[in-house]
Structures are given as C-alpha cells and as structure tokens.
Amino acid sequence: MNYETFQPTQDLAAIVKCHWVLEILYTPDTPKQRVIPDGCIEMCFILGDDVRRYQSETDFILQPRAMVLGQITKPFFIQPTGDVKTFAVRFYPYGFANFIKQPINALADNETPLSDLFDSATAAKLEVNITNAASTKERIAIVEKFLLDELNKQHTIDNIVKSTIETLSQTKGNASILSMIKEDQTTRKSLERKFSAQVGVSPKQLGKIIRLQAALKSMLSGKEETLTQVAYENDYYDQSHFIRDFKEFTGTNPKDYFGNDQMILSSLIYSKD
C-alpha cells in the first residue's frame, strides 16, 4: 500500500490542504475499508479498477471515476474490485465552496460526478487529461490549472465562515460558537446558515470532527498511553464522552480500532495527514 501527499501551489494553499495518491495491489482477500469523517471535501479520480461503496452489508454502488466526495457525517465502507490507483485533491472545509454555485450541504455523504458540478465538456476534458497524464506531477499541474481557472469565476469565501473554521482548527474543535460571535443570536443563526451552504455541516458538528481527528492522531502517535489520557488531552469531558463521539464518527470503539483490518487505510491516512 502506497499513500503519498503533496503540497499545493501557493496560489491555492489557502483552500487546498493537499493532493494525494493512493496505490494498492489487489489481493482476493482484500477487506472492506471503513472511511470516517475528516471535515474535508475531496475531488477524486479513480485511475485503477472500480471501487465499491457499500450502502448496506451486501448492497453497493460503483463510485464515479471522477467525483467530489462531500462532507462525511457517518462512516461507510469501500472495497476495490482490483488494483487501486487514485489521485485526489483534499480541500479545507471551506475550500470547495469557492468553485461551485450549489450549496455544499447537498454533497454531504455522497459521491457527486464532476459533470454534475461543472460544465460537462470541461469536466470530461479534465477527467481525460488526468487519466492520461504520465505522472503525479503532471496531474497536479493539470488539476491546479483547472482550479485556478474556475476560481476566477467565483466570489471568494465569506470572511466570517473562514475565520470561524480557523478558530475551530486552532482550538482542536473546542471553541464555543457563542464565544466567537459574542452571544449575538442573530449572527449565530446567520453563521449556521452560511456553514450549511458553504461547508456542508454545522459549526458544532465540524468542531466534533476536528476534535476527533486530533484524538485519533494522539492515539496513532502513541504519546498517550490510556484512553483517559487521550480524552483529557483533547478536551473531552471524560472518557465516556470521548468513546461516544469516537463511535459516532467511526462506527467502532477506540479499543477495537487498532488491529482491525478494516481500519488499515484510515490509520495510514491519519498517521501521515
């Protein structure tokens, strides 16, 4: 399994977190992998064999080969049908709203084909160019040119949304929305509406996802020895609060996370992110 990340050009660094590549050689016993929320939106290009996304224990769809994966609010399972080769762009929570006119919350928990979000001819050309590119470096250059061209067509993100997300990130998701807007209920409602349209989840939910990310990284780093230490280090009220949030977003308990062969992919991503 090979997973690599690449920094974006400076012109996109404020809205693109990274580009990434995932390559996995197929084996007949390849287990399903659990995908969990990370607060980001991703534009993905499947360059290898098709990938199944399970909607129940047995029912699945094939993911579009050029798509945008919206905000994930609940875990789901994927499984390759053959060799995996994926190239993707990971956006900051507020980043992708700059590129489309549709409300971001309409993309949540779904894979939306690029042709549904951009001019169909433009989306088709981008997919062909990415697929036929000779290297990751070339793919990055192609997708960054596309994004910069599209960015010039859209209004920039509202400062209030960006500054709120920055505050959440700086406090590992623990900043009170009321403290950020000085208990102005009218502003709070306006902020929540803008979040729904431009980020895809509520400020509270994004804060919970960011805090869980921080806790997962603590667990993977091995710095904290017990779940109680992880909980307090990441400002959960107590261990039970941490376990409850962990299960909500991953579908499993913290103690069952390690050693679970369905968590190999998410553990690899979190350890390098």
Instruction: Provide the CATH number for the domain around residue 38.
Output: 2.60.120.10
Q: How far is CA 40 from CA 86, 95, 148, 185, 223, in A?
A: 17, 9, 19, 27, 25
Q: Are 6 and 125 within one domain?
A: yes
Task: Find the range with the poorest average confidence among 15-19, 24-28, 176-180, 267-271.
Answer: 176-180
pTM value? 0.69
What residues make up the domain containing 234? Answer: 208-272
Q: Are 195 and 212 within one domain?
A: no
179 has a pLDDT exceeding 70: no
160 has a pLDDT exceeding 60: no
Q: Are 185 and 124 within one domain?
A: no
- Please check whether residue 216 is in contact with residue 247, taking contact to mean a CB–CB distance below 8 angstroms: no
* Confidence label for 174 from pLDDT (cuts 50, 70 and 90): low
What pLDDT was estimated at residue 260? 62
What pLDDT was estimated at residue 127? 97
Q: Are 145 and 248 within one domain?
A: no
Task: Find the range with the poorest average confidence among 11-20, 48-57, 60-69, 227-236.
Answer: 227-236
Q: Are 32 and 114 within one domain?
A: yes
166 closest CA partner among 178, 180, 153: 180
Q: How many domains does the chain have?
A: 3
What pLDDT was estimated at residue 126? 97
Contacts of 122 (CB under 8 A, 6+ apart): 146
- Average pLDDT of the segment spanning 158-176: 56
* Confidence label for 42 from pLDDT (cuts 50, 70 and 90): very high
Q: How far is CA 114 from CA 69, 122, 138, 266, in A?
A: 10, 9, 20, 24
For 154, phi and psi rounded to 5 degrees?
Answer: -115, 160
273 has a pLDDT exceeding 80: no
- Average pLDDT of the segment spanning 44-70: 95
Q: Are 44 and 111 within one domain?
A: yes
Q: Are 12 and 135 within one domain?
A: yes
Q: Are 79 and 130 within one domain?
A: yes
Half-sphere exposure of 248 (CA within 13 A, CB side): 14
* Confidence label for 243 from pLDDT (cuts 50, 70 and 90): confident
49 closest CA partner among 61, 62, 38, 59: 62
Identify the top-confidence range among 45-49, 105-109, 198-202, 213-217.
45-49
C-alpha–C-alpha distance, residues 103 and 208, integer Å:
22
Q: Are 8 and 62 within one domain?
A: yes
User: What is the DSSP secondary structure assignment for residue 232, as one 8-state letter?
Assistant: H
Scanning the structure block, which residue is given the tokens 């960011």? 210
